[in-house]
Homo-oligomer: A and B are copies of this chain.
Amino acid sequence: MYQDAAVFTSSDEKGSAMFDPENPPELSVTRWVNSRQPLSLKALKGKVVMLMAFQMLCPGCVQHGLPQAKKIAEQFSPEEVVVIGLHSVFEHHEVMTPAALEAFMHEYSWPFPVAIDAPGGDTGKGLPKTMEAYEMRGTPTVLLFDSAGRLRRHYFGHVEDIRLAAELMGLSIEDANAPREASVALERRMHSTLLDPNSHHGHDHDHGDDCGCGHDHGDHGHDHGHGHDHGHGGHKHK
């Protein structure tokens, strides 16, 4: 359920191909739905961004992830916190088409823009490109970017409203031009303020049938080639 992005960890051991949360890749998008114009992480710098990666036929996304994104969009000012969806189709490609997504958006009236993640692989049926670049394990996945454009959180599966809202406020208090040390201090404070959900014994929605759709890396020849801990409850990028 819970996975911190490896922000502000030492990168000494990282190879050149490693994912760098301080300089995360741009979204690979074929098209925007429900948006007057194309967006990009780069263009959104200066604001906190919450990205909800989903699939329109993923029950956990429809029942929990997208309604949560809607609540955030309704209660946070779009001047400070921008909510966007990312349709990252890694299964049933033939039916979760752009036209189907548009009908879905129309019927549910989701109030935020949605990017269509660029199809991946030779056939277009591999992992979508943004999903792969961010090493997402399935849907729903929530990414939080700070106003300097750095990836600060990466959650797979259910994340509590309370945690998400608290972290969004923390990030939006942070000055976009603050020195790196200020961000490290904020991280430290947020970590001491919110209890670690991994240490809870409570209900963990991570792999519940109706809460998250995971992709099987093997199926897609998807091998990151570096350390992952796929244990229940999240992995850490090393």
Contacts and interface: CB of A to CB of B under 8 A. Distances in A.
Contacts of A166: 75-76, 165-166, 168-169
A189 B169 CA distance: 9
Contacts of A194: 75-77, 169
Contact of A77 (B58, B75, B192): B192
A37 B167 CA distance: 32
Given A77-B192, A95-B99, A95-B100, A59 B169 contact: no
Given A76-B194, A95-B103, A163-B165, 15 more contacts: A57-B103, A74-B200, A74-B202, A76-B166, A76-B195, A77-B194, A81-B193, A95-B95, A109-B209, A161-B161, A165-B165, A166-B166, A167-B169, A169-B169, A173-B173
Interface of A: 57-59, 62-63, 71-72, 74-77, 79-81, 91-92, 94-97, 99-100, 103-104, 107-109, 160-170, 172-173, 186, 189-190, 192-195, 197, 200, 202, 209-210, 213
23 contacts: A57-B100, A59-B107, A63-B63, A75-B162, A75-B163, A75-B194, A75-B197, A76-B166, A76-B194, A77-B192, A80-B193, A91-B103, A95-B100, A100-B100, A162-B162, A162-B165, A165-B169, A166-B168, A166-B169, A167-B169, A169-B169, A169-B190, A173-B173
